[in-house]
């Protein structure tokens, strides 16, 4: 069988995956804190026809002769670039300007997120939309009494409130997680990430310290998906898929000619 046919099949599979990633990016164009994916291809092993030869006194050297056997999926990256900030004016909407992740806790499990649309539950604990507790410095929950008259959150993550006696009090300081390799985090859905063996262990830092970004209250970080870029990549993927399917069609025509040599 022709090697080109198998190369075309591999190329079609890769472009299918690329279209899947693009579709997910476009579907999450308005998801708070979403980080887009990027598909990377790499070539497969090349079949050696002849090796290279060194130069001699009588004749120069020759290059190796190789036939590539197609492409394969190299990586699907999570691009951790900053998304634009949208002002909401809501005191519990928080965005991160810079590096870092909010830490939310589900029982004994810690997760990371860039989505800062937070709420207060009936006990006054700061939670995300799924009820996971937003963690502060010292791995403590942020609790605001239900009788508080007003709430304020600073750029350093300090949460203050005015109680019923008009006294300003501090409820805690929101922590941000920093990792050696944030692109190594694993997406687990619901705008959450979890630590993997390649992301490194997370360090809990106060906002604005040790490389962590600052908190922007009253704002939310939008998705970093660029629709113009995604549609351009979609066209490239579509044409690449078509080109690889044409390789298979051409290879099939050649095989048909070979079969018809004996009539």
β-strand pairing of 176-178 with 203-205: antiparallel
The SS3 assignment for 87 reads: strand
The string over 19-37, giving b where at least 16 C-beta atoms fall within 10 Å of a residue's C-beta and e elsewhere, is bebbeebeebeeebbbbbb
**pLDDT tens digits along 217-237:** 999 999 999 999 999 999 999
H or E stretch at 230 = helix 227-259
pLDDT at position 1: 59
**pLDDT tens digits along 41-77:** 999 888 888 999 999 999 999 899 989 888 999 999 9
- Predicted TM-score (pTM) of this structure: 0.88
Nearest to 131 by CA among 120, 143, 144: 120
Q: Report the share of the chain in percent with pLDDT over 90.
A: 80
Q: Which two tokens stand for residue 200?
A: 């490194």
**pLDDT tens digits along 201-211:** 999 999 999 99
Burial class of residue 250 in the structure, from the number of CB atoms within 10 Å of its CB (0-12 exposed, 13-18 middle, 19+ buried): middle
Q: Which two tokens stand for residue 52?
A: 């290279």
Which residues, 6 or more positions from 226, have their beta carbon under 8 angstroms from its beta carbon? 36
**φ, ψ dihedrals at 248, nearest 5°:** -65, -40
């Amino acid at each position: 069988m022709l090697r080109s046919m198998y190369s075309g099949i591999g190329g079609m599979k890769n472009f299918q995956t690329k279209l899947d990633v693009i579709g997910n990016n476009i579907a999450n164009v308005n998801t708070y804190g979403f980080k887009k994916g990027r598909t990377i291809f790499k070539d497969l092993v090349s079949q050696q026809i002849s090796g290279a030869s060194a130069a001699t006194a009588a004749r120069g050297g020759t290059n190796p002769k190789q036939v590539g056997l197609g492409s394969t999926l190299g990586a699907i990256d999570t691009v951790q670039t900053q998304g634009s900030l949208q002002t909401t004016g809501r005191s519990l909407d928080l965005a991160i300007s810079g590096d870092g992740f909010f830490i939310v806790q589900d029982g004994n499990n810690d997760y990371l997120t860039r989505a800062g649309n937070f709420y207060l539950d009936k006990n006054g604990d700061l939670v995300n939309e799924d009820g996971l507790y937003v963690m502060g410095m010292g791995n403590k929950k942020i609790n605001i009494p239900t009788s508080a008259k007003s709430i304020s959150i600073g750029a350093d993550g300090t949460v203050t409130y005015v109680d019923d006696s008009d006294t300003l009090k501090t409820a805690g300081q929101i922590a941000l997680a920093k990792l050696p390799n944030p692109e190594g985090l694993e997406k687990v859905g619901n705008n959450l990430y979890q630590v993997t063996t390649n992301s490194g262990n997370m360090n809990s830092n106060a906002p604005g310290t040790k490389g962590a970004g600052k908190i922007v209250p009253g704002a939310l970080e939008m998705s970093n998906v660029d629709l113009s870029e995604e549609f351009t990549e979609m066209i490239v993927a579509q044409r690449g898929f078509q080109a690889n399917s044409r390789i298979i069609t051409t290879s099939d025509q050649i095989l048909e000619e070979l079969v018809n040599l004996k009539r």
